[in-house]
């Protein structure tokens, strides 16, 4: 794997969606090949190499979010609010926020080449499905910032999915989870008002999964055996383990999002176990 020479922006989270209109939403140095070989051997990067990957991941994430937001012709206030909310929830420093804003604007530029960025990004992260899924979550949040994605945004999302070799079933599962989060957050807004909803959304407990959502999240069927379900659960738990993701390049400020994902995986498994024991 390797971010070799250039990544002109390309691609996340479990950003808890708020109401419509306020929903959440590089070039690496010479010699990075050595670090990527190290990643293949050891499954982790040195501190210096990890910092390079983290910088690139932030850059390509926000560049692509800008590209997705611009896809339907103009960037709405809701889409800008989504990007700003993402930076706030990730607790970006002033410098990281300035850089993320610059990356977001770069993704809106006509000369931004998404296909090239996605090809490089997939080559670099294909052995880390957790990072790929985190990336896709960020792009879905950007597309849903001000309502249902436009046809142009839908085309970009499909382009992202295909470029990253993400199965359509997994994409649909992620999209359904985000829609469920939006519906839950929107319900809070309807009864308590925007300011109250924003605080509640940021501080709320993890969403309660339905049984169908639990099976979908683990990528299994009700007819599957206990062995198959447990194997899927353990595989996902390993893939999305926060420490492993950070070791492989996930920016540390996104650690909370990764932790929420592992909690959701565990909740799904426990929900299935409860249903089967009944």
- Residue 151: CB atoms within 10 A of its CB come to 8
Task: Convert the pLDDT of each residue in 32-69 to its tens digit.
Answer: 333 334 344 445 567 676 676 677 778 888 999 999 99
- Residue 171: CB atoms within 10 A of its CB come to 19
pLDDT of residue 195: 38
Q: Token pair of 64, please?
A: 């692509």
pLDDT of residue 151: 94
- List own/partner pairs for 200-209 with CB under 8 A and 24 or more apart: 201/16, 201/17, 201/18, 202/16, 202/89, 204/16, 206/260, 206/263, 206/264, 206/267, 207/180, 207/181, 207/264, 208/267, 209/264, 209/267, 209/268, 209/271
Q: Token pair of 129, please?
A: 């499905």
Which residues of the chain carry a pLDDT beneath 50?
1-42, 188-206
Q: How far apart are CA 6 and CA 135, in angstroms?
A: 18
Radius of gyration of the chain (CA): 18
pLDDT of residue 129: 76
Q: What angle do CA 58, 122, 232 make, to 5 degrees?
A: 95
pLDDT of residue 203: 38
- Residue 269 and residue 219 in contact, taking contact as beta carbons nearer than 8 Å: no
Q: How far apart are CA 143 and CA 65, in angstroms?
A: 8
Q: Residue 119: helix, strand or coil by DSSP? A: helix
Q: How far apart are CA 276 and CA 152, in angstroms?
A: 42
What 8-state DSSP symbol labels residue 5?
S
pLDDT of residue 50: 66
pLDDT of residue 161: 93
Sequence ranges of the domains in the chain: 32-277
Does the pTM of the predicted model rise above 0.85? no
pLDDT of residue 112: 95
Q: Residue 223: helix, strand or coil by DSSP? A: coil
pLDDT of residue 215: 87
- Residue 18 and residue 199 in contact, taking contact as beta carbons nearer than 8 Å: no
Q: Token pair of 260, please?
A: 């929420």
Q: Token pair of 193, please?
A: 């008002």
pLDDT of residue 187: 57
Q: How far apart are CA 88 and CA 25, in angstroms?
A: 10
Q: Residue 276: helix, strand or coil by DSSP? A: helix
Q: Residue 6: helix, strand or coil by DSSP? A: coil
Q: How far apart are CA 110 and CA 125, in angstroms?
A: 26
Q: Token pair of 187, please?
A: 């319900």
């Amino acid at each position: 794997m390797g971010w070799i020479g250039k990544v002109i922006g390309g691609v996340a989270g479990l950003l808890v969606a708020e109401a419509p209109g306020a929903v959440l939403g590089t070039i690496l140095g010479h010699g990075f090949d050595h670090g990527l070989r190290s990643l293949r051997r050891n499954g982790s990067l040195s501190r210096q190499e990890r910092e390079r990957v983290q910088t690139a991941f932030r850059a390509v994430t926000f560049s692509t979010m800008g590209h997705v937001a611009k896809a339907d012709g103009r960037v709405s206030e809701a889409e800008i609010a989504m990007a700003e909310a993402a930076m706030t929830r990730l607790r970006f420093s002033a410098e990281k926020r300035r850089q993320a804003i610059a990356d977001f604007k770069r993704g809106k530029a006509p000369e931004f080449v998404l296909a090239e960025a996605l090809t490089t990004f997939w080559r670099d992260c294909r052995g880390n499905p957790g990072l790929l899924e985190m990336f896709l979550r960020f792009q879905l949040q950007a597309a849903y910032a001000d309502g249902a994605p436009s046809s142009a945004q839908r085309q970009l999302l499909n382009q992202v999915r295909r470029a990253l070799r993400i199965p359509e079933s997994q994409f649909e599962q992620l999209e359904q989870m985000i829609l469920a989060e939006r519906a839950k957050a929107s319900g809070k807004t309807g009864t308590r008002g925007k300011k109250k909803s924003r605080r509640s959304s940021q501080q709320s407990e993890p969403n309660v999964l339905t049984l169908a959502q639990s099976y979908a999240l683990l990528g299994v069927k009700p007819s599957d055996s206990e062995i198959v379900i447990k194997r899927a659960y353990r595989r996902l738990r390993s893939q999305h383990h926060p420490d492993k993701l950070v070791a492989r390049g996930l920016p540390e400020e996104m650690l909370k999002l990764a932790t929420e994902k592992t909690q959701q995986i565990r909740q799904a498994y426990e929900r299935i176990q409860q249903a089967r024991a009944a």
